[in-house]
Structure 1
């Protein structure tokens, strides 16, 4: 059986390419299906208005929700997003951002996930809900 610390270390060591691109790090992991992550939004992720492009914000939220699903499963799985909805509440700026992902319900074939994105001061920037299909890897 994998311990909590072993799972956290393994997930950080085996981030997907998108997580590496986004400068992701899993800060906290709850085996009950919750994670807290940080991301580094570089100026290259910004639109001409100087704020992080919405697709990048959605990718950060998607990664956090999927990692929560992996934590909930407690083993190596692939989580394919079926659909997602993102509400953009405040503009995200370049710098360190934080996401909290959580599993609302995970069944054998479908999982219902959520994630929130915050700036360094704790302001809620965006919220995502998604449906995903967890699969053995």
Structure 2
């Protein structure tokens, strides 16, 4: 399993760079994705587009999954549900994901998204496949 828990343990990818997400993980089984909202993240109503929150959660869950699997393996989203609690229009969004259970080929996760004032914006559950090897 990966013993590196900082944001430099995996290379960035184009969507992460485009959206401006920063990744971190402070412990095994956890992953955090943070982004500072600006105009490119907004829907026509001026709040964060749902797809931006989805990408943020999916990325945090991927980071958490990668922390509990061997370095020669990788993961892919199988299923993810997202419940929007309140709109966010400015400041930071922080998605914190945790592994609920790691099986042989599937990882189950939960995540919560908060804004910079620690208000709950969304909750999520997801399943990731363990691939490669």
TM-score after normalising by structure 2: 0.87
* Aligned positions of 1:30-45 closer than 5 A: 30-31=27-28, 33-45=29-41
Q: Which residue of structure 2 lines up, in the alignment, with residue 22 of structure 1?
A: 19
TM-fit CA distance, 1:3: 4.3
Query: Do the aligned partners of residues 85 and 4 (structure 1) sit closer, same or farther apart at CA in structure 2, a change above 3 Å counting?
Result: same
Q: Which residue of structure 1 lines up, in the alignment, with residue 65 of structure 2?
A: 69
Query: In 2, Cα distance between the equivalents of 1:76 and 1:124?
Result: 35
* Aligned pairs, number: 133
1:103 alignment partner, SS class: strand
Q: Which residue of structure 2 lines up, in the alignment, with residue 101 of structure 1?
A: 97
Q: Which runs of 5+ in 1 are unaligned?
A: none
Q: Which runs of 5+ in 2 are unaligned?
A: none
Q: Give the number of the structure whose residues are more often helix, by fraction.
A: 1
Aligned alpha-carbon RMSD (Å): 2.1
TM-score after normalising by structure 1: 0.85
